[in-house]
Amino acid sequence: MNEDAKQLKKSSVLSTLSLFFQSGYSAALGLGANLVLTIVLSPKIFGIYITVLSIIALLNYFSDIGLAASLVQKKEVTNDDVSTTFTVQQLMIITIITIGFFATSFIQSFYKLPPDGIYLYWALLASFFLSSLKTIPSIFLERKVQFQKIVFVGVVENTVFYIAVIILGLMGFSLNSFTIAVLLRSFVGVVLIYSISFWKPRVGIKVTNLKQLLSFGLPFQANSFLALFKDDLITLYLGKILGFEALGYIGWAKKWAEAPIRIIMDNISRVLFPVLSRIQHDKDKVKRLIEKILHYQTLLLAPVMIGMALTMNMFVEIMPKYGKWAPALPLFYLFSFAAFLSSYSTPFTNLFNALGKVKISFYFMIFWTVATWILTPILSKLFGYYGFPLVQFILSFACFAVITKAKQIIPFSFVKPVYQGVISGVIMGIIILFIKSHIAVNPFTFAALIGFGGLVYLMSITFIFKIDIISEFKKLFIYE
């Protein structure tokens, strides 16, 4: 392995581990905040929070036309590329924020938001602008695959946000807890990122540079734009037709079910895109990397997803004032299955993008978006708030079509890297189910069951499939 390859692997591993640390740390803080808020807040208030977040996510998709991704994917970047990206992005963001502010009365009447909901909306608009200022410094760090520095900023931001939310929630600030915490996080994040990766903003647009950046950026952003219609606009639609309480149940179930995916796959994906872009010319290296990703993601995800699905009802029962979320448990089970299967689409959409085959990702996204909007109204009318989770369950099987297409581009094995983790997870699940049916539910048995399930999984991996977890982990740090 040459020096460049060694450095790339070293940076990739360090970046991935840093992102995992940030996610684990943020997940712990988020768990505390989520527990506090879902105890002190009603499902309706929680639904308002999810709705307002989706409105801002809607605006966010219009803030970029793929220029940031172009800067990451491009082999060489000039000052004109950077200033053009910054200027175009800021012009778009200022326009969107202005429109968003003047649309306040419409949004308030359409969703019947209380005054506190409007304050949160305004705070998120301000946060939207501040976050945009972090784009260029973050891109410089991503190009160097120095995600650990971005992670540091994220850790501090999340610490400020979640601690503020917990304290203010306990003090009775209700929805305003989010409003204050969002503003604090945004100010802290901007100051930190510029202290780590300083860049003096430059304004200017070079038409030739813009055209070159858009040749990759527009198809890339088209995928994100379709994801907007598939995810966030659907959330706004559900909030309108089902009401905030039903949306609160859906949001609670979806957040818990997708938490492992957000922690594991989102972090792998952030590093995978720039790394695959760097080695795109070597198909053998791409093949080996894809198989390793499939292997490690299954070893991590299979026990976590199966364990959560089998013990979440116990968690709801033992947590104080958490019984109100019991109606959302069936939704959680559907989302969990869908999230696990869908996680196998993620590495390959990154593969398509990194190899410059953005149109393939785009076509799959069109299918998912159209199918979501056709099926969701129909199934929501038939099954109420079960409709949307059922749609996610059905569409998750499309991962096999994504895998088949990827194999046509880069021949690789799918079954070999994943079967050990899946079978060991199923063995663990069967034993958990058996024990669970013979014990009383209390905090001690809940913790003991989780610990014993993890032990069963490790024993299965070690003794049945002869996989040494410690040795597997050490391989990540071997650079020769």
Q: Where are the domains of the chain?
A: 243-480
Q: Report residue 223 as tokens.
A: 């995928």
Name which of 290, 227, 299 is nearest 471 in CA terms.
299
Report the alpha-carbon distance of residue 332 to residue 312 in Å, rounded. Answer: 9
- Find where tokens 């069963």 sit: 456
HSE at residue 365, side-chain half, CA atoms within 13 A, is 24
Report the alpha-carbon distance of residue 239 to residue 247 in Å, rounded. Answer: 6
Q: Please say whether the beta carbons of 125 and 97 come within 8 A.
A: yes
Q: Is residue 321 exposed (0-12), middle (13-18) or buried (19+ Cβ within 10 Å)?
A: exposed
- Looking at residue 375, what is its pLDDT? 94
Name which of 401, 339, 394, 389 is nearest 364 in CA terms.
401
- Looking at residue 161, what is its pLDDT? 82
Directed axis angle between helix 135-143 and helix 176-196, to 10°? 50
Name which of 393, 421, 397 is nearest 301 in CA terms.
421
Sign of CA dihedral 80, 83, 89, 92: negative
Report the alpha-carbon distance of residue 30 to residue 185 in Å, rounded. Answer: 14
Helix, strand or coil for residue 95? Answer: helix
- The mean of the pLDDT values for the chain is 79
One-letter amino acid for residue 289 of the chain: L
- Looking at residue 395, what is its pLDDT? 93
- For the chain, the C-alpha Rg in angstroms (whole number) is 23
Q: Please say whether the beta carbons of 325 and 316 come within 8 A.
A: yes
Nearest-5° Cα angle at 208, 206 to 210? 65
Q: Report residue 39 as tokens.
A: 């105890």
Q: Please say whether the beta carbons of 131 and 59 come within 8 A.
A: no
Q: Catalogue the E-assigned strands of 209-298.
A: none
Report the alpha-carbon distance of residue 198 to residue 138 in Å, rounded. Answer: 10
Residues 6+ apart with CB under 8 A from 283: 410
Helix, strand or coil for residue 371? Answer: helix
- Which residue stretches of the chain have pLDDT < 50? 63-65, 477-480
Q: Is residue 300 exposed (0-12), middle (13-18) or buried (19+ Cβ within 10 Å)?
A: middle
HEC per residue, 102-165:
HCHHHHHHHHCCCHHHHHHHHHHHHHHHHHHCCHHHHHHHHHCCCHHHHHHHHHHHHHHHHHHH
DSSP-derived letter for residue 76 is S
HSE at residue 235, side-chain half, CA atoms within 13 A, is 23
Q: Report residue 40 as tokens.
A: 């002190």
Q: Please say whether the beta carbons of 385 and 400 come within 8 A.
A: no
How far, CA to CA in Å, does 163 sit from each of 30, 127, 158, 312?
A: 9, 18, 8, 25
Name which of 154, 160, 151, 212 is nearest 185 in CA terms.
160
- Find where tokens 């056709």 sit: 374
